[in-house]
A and B are shown apart, each in its own frame.
Chain A
């Protein structure tokens, strides 16, 4: 019973973290049809800039809660600067290329972003534990847990709600839906598709950076942290259906729980099981497990 509870809690907080990172990837894919490998770069940049800012603020004597403000600010900063630069300068010129060439270009961008981190932040790891210490820990089901990891659940719920609200209840959301369904018709009825692309990319990049920034206090931020998260978020996005936000939620929950079960019961299957499920989903339902049936366009 207690293990079940632990597994569930671990799985849920890991799933929340995966959801925050993957939802940015899926939004970018849904609107722009770009599978963005550089997303791992946004994640790593978010983590580094937040960890750096939190460390700096602590040295300057700011209170510990200020770290949360810095997490928000640094992920927005990273999303805005990197998102704008990359979309405007590079991706914009590649939209007429084949999709696999664009994937490869984002792979190149990922390599560039990885090393820019080393040039800017150096090779030594960063530890930004202040926000975690600030929230302390709580006993749940007989095990002491840090509150910080639990707040991930709240943040994920917030992100999910914000995405739903923005897409379903605002004018912007309607425009976005139109572009997702048909780019050409959107242009014809006077939607500025270019602007939609830019802001979608910035929003996706911000979410990727937010995932990295929020998780940074719980780990040592060291070179190469972006590498594993890319394939994990690919798995999440593929399992739920590429381009679908509820899909990302379901994919994140499945991967999170599966991983937690594996870690606690069969540690040697931790990575294996995630990708077996990913491959199985692609073999049985390539559109994603819960993707709605789509009419084929002729």
Chain B
């Protein structure tokens, strides 16, 4: 299994890239470390959206799973006192993946704008509940205490960062392996021609359902990671429709080219937002929105298309 995984060049490069990130992370001051963790959290969610996007589906409601993951971490601590990273992420993934499995039975029959709208409606139902429920913290949300790693209480943020990087390696490798499995190869085929896929003897509905559950579980884990990195959960920055919008935004910005692209896109987005906010507190949305339009107009394949530019140049030299 491991040997076959390592024979894939993308996986080798991904692992190498994350190793470098983990090493460089030791030099990061706290704010860069935090921002990178937020970026990695978004990246995990976007990795799931990438799967859907390659199938031709865009979900404007993945904040549902992102928020569920975050609240699962927070509520687990409130009711059982558990702060361990494995339990936290396990809870986040189970809750989000389970909900995705149930809702998937409905959503797998929808395409295009209707898929986007129905997923948005589902996510706004959760938002409506959270905002109005006093017991769940209402609009203020509540705080999440520091994460322990297998019973050990780290003194700095770095061990958590390292754990998140490891998680990203596992997620990316898993998704890459999935894409090369029989079911994974159906991804783009479903987008191109559903009827042909059916004639080949595969079920389009099942193919979409599996991808939907994977993306939901990934978004749940992402929300859990976000809650741990931020130390706080609240509905407006985690469950509102603008969060779903941001996630889709990063998906487009990153481009569908590779499983690593979501992380590059998300970290870029996080730093773009921080710097925009720093430079122009009242105009950061202007900068972010302008960037989005610029990418749609001038870089339809996303940031990942830059790498192709580099490799094309290399070919010319040869």
Chain A residues in the interface with B (C-beta under 8 A): 35, 37, 90, 93-94, 97, 99-101, 103-105, 107-112, 114-116, 118-119, 123, 227, 230-231, 234-235, 238, 242, 267-276, 278-279, 282-283, 286
Contacts and interface: CB of A to CB of B under 8 A. Distances in A.
Contacts of A97: 296
Contacts of B286: 111-112, 114-116, 119
Contacts of B114: 282, 286
Contacts, number: 127
B296 A231 contact: no
A108 B289 contact: yes
A297 B128 CA distance: 38
A279 B107 CA distance: 11
B285 A111 contact: yes
11 contacts: A99-B113, A111-B285, A114-B286, A115-B283, A115-B285, A116-B286, A227-B240, A235-B121, A270-B132, A273-B128, A286-B114
Nearest to B56: A98
Nearest to A279: B121
B177 interface: no
Interface string B286-304: 1011111100110000000
Interface in B81-124: 106, 110, 112-114, 116-118, 120-122, 124
A186 B129 CA distance: 46
A90 B296 CA distance: 11
Top 7 nearest A-B pairs (CB, nearest first) are A111-B289, A271-B128, A108-B292, A272-B128, A115-B286, A279-B121, A112-B289
Interface string B193-221: 00000000000000000000000000000
Q: Majority SS of interface residues in chain B?
A: helix
A115 B284 contact: yes
B99 to A, nearest CB: 13
A101 B253 CA distance: 11
A55 to B, nearest CB: 20
Interface string B261-297: 0000000000000000000001111101111110011
Contacts of A90: 293
Contacts of A105: 292-293, 296
A275 B124 contact: yes
Q: Majority SS of interface residues in chain A?
A: helix
B270 to A, nearest CB: 16
Nearest to A103: B116
A262 B95 CA distance: 28
Contacts of B284: 115
Name the residue among B116, B249, B286 with the largest chain A CB count within 10 angstroms. B286
Name the residue among B117, B127, B252 with the largest chain A CB count within 10 angstroms. B117
Given A123-B282, A279-B122, A108 B241 contact: no
B113 A110 contact: no
Contacts of A94: 296
Nearest to A38: B289
Contacts of B282: 115, 118-119, 123
Nearest to B59: A100
A271 B292 contact: no
Nearest to A112: B289
B242 interface: yes
A282 B117 contact: yes
A206 to B, nearest CB: 22
B124 A108 contact: no
B290 A108 contact: yes
B131 interface: yes
A101 B114 CA distance: 14
Nearest to B112: A99
B289 A115 contact: yes
Given A99-B112, A103-B116, A115-B284, A109 B289 contact: yes
Contacts of A119: 282-283, 286
